[in-house]
Amino acid sequence: MPDFIPRNPDFERSVRESWTTQSFLRLLGAEITAVAPGAVETRLPWRADLCQQHGYFHAGVIATLADVTGGYSAYSMLPAGWSMLSTEFKVNLISPAIGECLVARGQLLKAGRTLFPARVDVFALKDGNEKLVAAMQMTLMGLEDRPELEAR
Amino acid sequence: MPDFIPRNPDFERSVRESWTTQSFLRLLGAEITAVAPGAVETRLPWRADLCQQHGYFHAGVIATLADVTGGYSAYSMLPAGWSMLSTEFKVNLISPAIGECLVARGQLLKAGRTLFPARVDVFALKDGNEKLVAAMQMTLMGLEDRPELEAR
Amino acid sequence: MPDFIPRNPDFERSVRESWTTQSFLRLLGAEITAVAPGAVETRLPWRADLCQQHGYFHAGVIATLADVTGGYSAYSMLPAGWSMLSTEFKVNLISPAIGECLVARGQLLKAGRTLFPARVDVFALKDGNEKLVAAMQMTLMGLEDRPELEAR
Amino acid sequence: MPDFIPRNPDFERSVRESWTTQSFLRLLGAEITAVAPGAVETRLPWRADLCQQHGYFHAGVIATLADVTGGYSAYSMLPAGWSMLSTEFKVNLISPAIGECLVARGQLLKAGRTLFPARVDVFALKDGNEKLVAAMQMTLMGLEDRPELEAR
């Protein structure tokens, strides 16, 4: 893995502040638990309204947590004031997402000029044990100005 | 596109009943608007708590709607009593998801023995015009009994 | 689908000339059969050295044909002199690829400022009938100058 | 990562024998360099007929090598006599694939009942240094009998 040198010395504060501006993350109750250059960890406690038909975490909840975890892994490597945008993500749902909470760990693969590929692992925590429930591979895009409507 | 002959004559009722058992879809406010063999249409009105930082629909909301739209497109082709599981999906986020509601249209590509590949288009409806905001390509898996924990 | 107005009036000749510069396409024997703005059709006759263990077209051959078909669908919409680069693709292998030749049809989903999402369908032609064997969803990137090593 | 216990004691020989039955791998000149339970390493020397327009390895070549590397990572965990099939793969092309050879390393994420998700990293080896050029995330499917035409 390359060594990621942040371009924004205040990257951790920027990540944590940006996180609070996404209303959907509040609705879900998702939290950031760790921030490093090119790598972020998040978690999401189970709630009865986040489920599919069997009471497990919904695939859409898992994808959302993975998406933002990869997104902020990339955001941590942007210059101050830039914006980050998901352009595509792919998730494999590997095992049923049963447990007290989800834990997601993102790892940037490259801090490019424009594109930031990343991987994310999502675990379910149950009785103190983590089990891999999903794997994401994705592309983020960094934008110098505020994300214009048609920046893509 | 192949002609899809449903194996469950009551497929529409099965789809609509199963939809109501997913608590996360109620939290989002997503609705099914049309059901045909191998094809489902859904919609999701905008709400202030479904957004990313600019007030557009969050990518996780888009992915959730696309996931269940493709999932029920496949579920419509299952024998009565079977279950459906997403095994993987990939979404391209094509334009900013700005509008009064999202509309998603799923189309099964094949009703296989085990695997059901599907595509979904997601549009944002704004001032009466639809704009393509995301495209999904995915695999569903049909399960004869209730989805066992390790059916995958 | 949006209406694609080409920015290079000579787009068809540019596409066909660029095609000939890819040595791997010659090795495979792939051909372009039709070019329109945002849409390209290609074909690849079966050969005994393009197979997996059962004598069907290898998944890597299918992916290659789909990749270049989507790539040139996007390339047809670039200004003259620009380059096109695949940044990611995802392929679902839907049915065994048995037949005399593969036929791939690409369709651009959007001609963006930087990114060009596209879909491609791949069919096997056998005894005069086409069968869908694979579906691709992908992102291309347009580059104003020659593709620099680290343009991504 | 889970501990993978092979179900076929002779898994390495089975992997190496199966490899030789794919004519397209011979055409490319791809080789297996290491086999472990759930993990395979392969390589592919550069040749002038494996390239895109700039003389780098073609994306289709990279995808092929990644596909079979993930496929045999999964195959190593099958019971003797079973077959393995790629059902889908997604590749991110991260940096230009320039070098004397490609090296691919696959890692199974789970040996399921039916589905085998895997990841693969592809490196270009140049002047003794490895650089990550592509990342794949994929699903394989194990089949008890010979792969029937419509096993999917």
Q: What pLDDT is stored for residue B151 in this prediction?
A: 65
What's the pLDDT at A3? 87
Q: Do A87 and C151 touch (CB under 8 A)?
A: no
Closest D-chain CA to A138: D92
Q: Where are the beta strands (DSSP E) in chain B?
A: 31-36, 39-45, 83-93, 101-108, 115-126, 129-143
Helix A11-19 vs helix A59-75: crossing angle, to nearest 10: 150
Is the distance from CB of C79 to CB of C43 less than 8 angstroms?
no
Please report residues of B whose CB lies closer than 8 A to that of A126. none
**Across C46-53, average pLDDT:** 97
pLDDT (average), residues B102-119: 97
> Which of B62, B86, B105, B110 is the best substitution to test chain C (most C C-beta atoms within 10 A)?
B110
Residue whose pair of structure tokens reads 């003797």 in the numeric block: D80
Within-domain flag for A48:
yes
**Residue C3's pLDDT band (boundaries 50, 70, 90)?**
confident
Q: CB distance A92–D135 less than 8 Å?
A: no
Q: Is D110 in Cβ contact with A132 (below 8 Å)? A: yes
User: Would you say residue A55 lies in a domain?
Assistant: yes
CATH number at residue C76: 3.10.129.10
| pLDDT beyond 90 at B114 | yes
Tens digits of residue pLDDT in D67-77: 999 999 999 99
Contact status, residue B1 vs residue B65, Cβ threshold 8 Å: no
In total, how many domains does chain C have? Answer: 1
Residue C150 has what pLDDT?
Answer: 60
| Residue labelled with tokens 């989002």 | B28
Contact flag A113-C139 (C-beta cutoff 8 Å): no
Other beta carbons within 10 Å of D6: 18
The predicted model gives B32-40 an average pLDDT of 98
Looking at the partner chain, which of B18, B54, B87 has a beta carbon nearest the beta carbon of A93? B87
Q: Which domain holds residue C107?
A: 11-143
pLDDT of amino acid B3 = 87
pLDDT of C56 above 60: yes
Q: How confident is the model at residue B2 (pLDDT cuts 50, 70, 90)?
A: confident
Size of interface A-C (CB pairs under 8 A): 34
CA distance C50 to D59: 16
Residues of D in contact with B112 (CB under 8 A): 150, 152
Report chain B residues whose CB lies below 8 A from the CB of D112.
150, 152
| Cross-chain residue pair D152–B113, CB shorter than 8 Å | yes
> Alpha helices, DSSP H only, in chain D?
11-19, 23-28, 59-75
Contact A28, A44 (CB under 8 A): yes
Average pLDDT estimate for B33-45: 98
- Identify the contact set of chain B against chain C, taking CB-CB distances under 8 A: 90, 92, 94-95, 109-110, 112, 117, 119, 132, 135-137, 139
Span A37-59, pLDDT tens digits? 999 999 999 999 999 999 999 99
**Distance between A22 CA and the closest CA of chain D, angstroms:** 27
Residue matched to tokens 């290491």? D34
pLDDT of residue D72: 98
Q: Is residue A151 included in any domain, yes or no? A: no
User: Could you tell me how many residues make up chain D?
Assistant: 152
SS (H, E, C) chain C: CCCCCCCCCCHHHHHHHHHCCCHHHHHHCCEEEEEECCEEEEEEECCCCCECCCCCECHHHHHHHHHHHHHHHHHCCCCCCCEEEEEEEEEEECCCCCCCEEEEEEEECCCCCCEEEEEEEEEEEECCEEEEEEEEEEEEEEECCCCCCCCC
Identify all chain B residues contacting D113, using CB atoms and an 8 Å cutoff: 150-152
- pLDDT at position B92 over 70: yes
In a domain, B6, yes or no: no
The tokens describing A126, both together, are 């149950």
Nearest C-alpha in B relative to C130? B1
- Per the document, the length of chain A is 152
What DSSP string runs through chain A? -PPP--SSTTHHHHHHHHHTT-HHHHHHT-EEEEEETTEEEEEEE--TTSB-TTSSBPHHHHHHHHHHHHHHHHHTTSPTT-EEEEEEEEEEE-S---SSEEEEEEEES---SSEEEEEEEEEEEETTEEEEEEEEEEEEEEESSS--TT--
Check CB contact under 8 Å for D110 and A90.
no
Q: Tell the residue number behind the tokens 């989805």, with chain if given.
A: B147
Average pLDDT, chain B: 95
Tell me the average pLDDT across C74-99. Answer: 97
CB contact under 8 A, B24 and A94: no
| Alpha carbons B51 and A18: distance in angstroms, whole number | 13
Residue C35, both tokens:
């070019």
- Chain-centre distance for alpha carbon A139: 12
In the predicted model, what is the mean pLDDT of residues B82-98? 97
Intervals of chain A under pLDDT 70: 1, 146-151
The answer to whether the beta carbons of residues A67 and B59 sit under 8 Å apart is yes
Q: Provide the pLDDT for residue A2.
A: 75
Tokens 């070019």 correspond to: C35
Report the residue from C88, C110, C152 with minimal CB separation from A113: C152
Mean of the per-residue pLDDT values of chain D: 95
Of C21, C22, C93, the CB nearest to D86: C93
Which two three-digit tokens encode residue C152? 């991504």
**Interatomic CA distance for residues B113 and C19, integer angstroms:** 38
Instruction: Round the average pLDDT of chain C to a whole number and report it.
Output: 95
Q: Write out pLDDT tens, residues D112-138.
A: 999 999 999 999 999 999 999 999 999
Cα–Cα separations (whole angstroms), residue B3 to B37, B119, D91 = 9, 16, 31
**What are the pLDDT digits (tens) for C117-146?**
999 999 999 999 999 999 999 999 999 876
Please, which chains are in contact with D (at least 3 CB pairs closer than 8 A)? Answer: A, B, C
Chain C interface, best mutation among A86, A88, A92, A150, by max C CB count within 10 A = A88
Nearest Cα to Cα of residue C134 among C145, C125, C121, C146: C121
Residue D2's pLDDT is what?
75
pLDDT in tens, D18-47: 999 999 999 999 999 999 999 999 999 999
| pLDDT higher than 70, residue C151 | no
Site from B91, B109, B114 to mutate, D interface, most D CB atoms within 10 angstroms: B114
- Candidates A87, A91, A113, A119: best to mutate against C (most CBs of C within 10 A) is A87
Q: CA B21, CA C59: separation in Å to the nearest integer?
A: 38
The verdict on residue C34 lying in a domain is yes
